[in-house]
Amino acid sequence: MDLGNLESLKFFYPEAILTGTILLLILLDLVLPGKKTLAFLAVVGSFFSLWATLELYQASPGWLFHRMIILDNFSLFFKVVSLAAALLVIWISLGCREINEIHHGEYYTILLTSTLGMFFMASASNLLMAYLSLELVSITSYILTGFLPHNRRSSEAALKYLIYGAVASGTMIYGMSWIFGMTGTLDYARISEVLLQGQANRVSLFIALVFILAGFGYKIVFVPFHMWSPDVYQGAPTPITAFLSVGSNAAGTAILIRFFFPAVSRLAEGGNWLFISGVEWPHFLLMVSMVTMTLGNLCALNQQNLKRLLAYSGIAHAGYILMGLVVLNNDGLKAMLFYIVVYLIMNLGAFLVVVMVANETGKEEIGAYRGLAWRGGAIPAVCMAIFLFSLTGLPPLAGFVGKFFLFAAVIKQGFYLLAVVGIINSVISLYYYAGVVKTMFLDFPEPTDQYITMTANTAALLGVLSTLTVFFGLYWGPLVQYTNQSLKFFIK
């Protein structure tokens, strides 16, 4: 299926609904007095978009808009993930005191625009489209990061993010221009055809791929493109940190897989992918994966600010997720998709507890969690323990199943060294996650520590996320079926 502009429109409802919602939000922001209703409008719009996305599973896969974007299970999966992230983040924002003081209309507009960007990142099948969508997500992220007025940290974070982002995307587009120079096309399918003829110079192709990795890696946050993340995570409003940690990470993974698998590799039998011989990017990524998880975990050990700790833990998880990529096998890619869903649930849960505690205490330091379980916060503390142990990868929690599939893929392909590095990292990560749990349960509160209360709204969300974390740890059959089916590319 290769459709032109007009025929494509009927497969474009999710994006269209989201765009409509964004425009409506901007207009209503001018006239509506009650700003809370804007949040509900954003939720309704996202729900309709989600519904339209699910409807598209009936359609046959193909190119839309003259091969600019692609419609297949893989892109639909990442659209669902981005919308889920957006919906949950809006829900978290409703109960977040930090957010109450800012312009709601703009906040939700930009949040949804960023989600729209992620839609395009998931479905781009042309380097130009990939670049534009990535920039759309980046620019909206810069704004969201700096959204807190009169907060120096927030502004500093936004500026840092912008500078790093500019360098990374500059490098990436330079790499893309090399690809264009070598192949004469920006279309993924045609790039693939040209590269498979083996005409391209291997060294320059490798350099081009590494340059492109700079842009993608900066979104997924892997070493050495990770430097922005701790500062940005700490400075940004907490719901936005949560959004960046799951949403833009997932979208970055989508664009990475789409480019490096169907476009520059070839599917052989048994679900194995063959890379162009002589262009050793998988080995490069293998090193990157090991360094990323190790550096993330080691840096997290000494963090005192929980958001910063979660930033480093996010870096470590980017390393784990990359394990699925370097094995060059469909099992690994499926494990990545599964892990992305699980990571979305548990990481958003952890940030929700950060929001709840910050609402009462105004602090994000680990010290603010002292004796949380003994001063009214037993339920948030238990949920936080569930999320953190799930991030560590302990059964019977969802994070374990995610890691289990990743390690299974790694062992199956015989990457034993990577597996050993991965498990040692899991043990290291237990130390800092358990450190937070220790502060919440094993330390006792002092008289000056505030009592923690929950609103019905946040309690409900907390219940949903922690139940899902436990449920997918015990029975993940349907979820794994869904993620396995999501690994279907239109171009092979």
Interaction site with another protein (CB under 8 A): 389, 394-396, 400, 404, 407-408, 411-412, 416, 419-420, 423-424, 426-427, 430-431, 434-435, 438, 441-442, 475-477, 480-481, 484
Residue closest to 276 by CA, chosen among 331, 196, 204: 196
Interatomic CA distance for residues 306 and 456, integer angstroms: 24
Return the residue matching tokens 């019905």.
Answer: 456
Q: Where are the alpha helices (DSSP H) in 306-397?
A: 306-326, 330-361, 378-392
Q: In this complex, which beta carbon is closest to another protein, that of residue 62 or of residue 395? A: 395
Question: Cβ 385 to another protein, closest distance in Å?
Answer: 8
3-state secondary structure of 229: helix
Question: Cβ 114 to another protein, closest distance in Å?
Answer: 35
Q: In this complex, which beta carbon is closest to another protein, that of residue 139 or of residue 479? A: 479
Question: Cβ 324 to another protein, closest distance in Å?
Answer: 14
Q: In this complex, which beta carbon is closest to another protein, that of residue 250 or of residue 335? A: 335
Residue closest to 275 by CA, chosen among 195, 173, 177, 216: 195
Q: In this complex, which beta carbon is closest to another protein, that of residue 128 or of residue 479? A: 479
Q: In this complex, which beta carbon is closest to another protein, that of residue 23 or of residue 420? A: 420
Interatomic CA distance for residues 195 and 294, integer angstroms: 34
Interatomic CA distance for residues 154 and 233, integer angstroms: 9
User: Which of the 8 DSSP states describes residue 246?
Assistant: I
How many C-beta atoms lie closer than 10 Å to residue 420's C-beta? 12
Q: In this complex, which beta carbon is closest to another protein, that of residue 64 or of residue 401? A: 401
Question: Cβ 475 to another protein, closest distance in Å?
Answer: 8
Question: Cβ 395 to another protein, closest distance in Å?
Answer: 5
- Tokens linked to 341: 């869903």
Q: In this complex, which beta carbon is closest to another protein, that of residue 167 or of residue 394? A: 394
Question: Cβ 476 to another protein, closest distance in Å?
Answer: 7
Could you give the angle at the alpha carbon of 312 between the alpha carbons of 370 and 320, nearest 5°? 120
Interatomic CA distance for residues 248 and 141, integer angstroms: 9
Question: Cβ 489 to another protein, closest distance in Å?
Answer: 21
Could you give the angle at the alpha carbon of 348 between the alpha carbons of 347 and 353, nearest 5°? 100
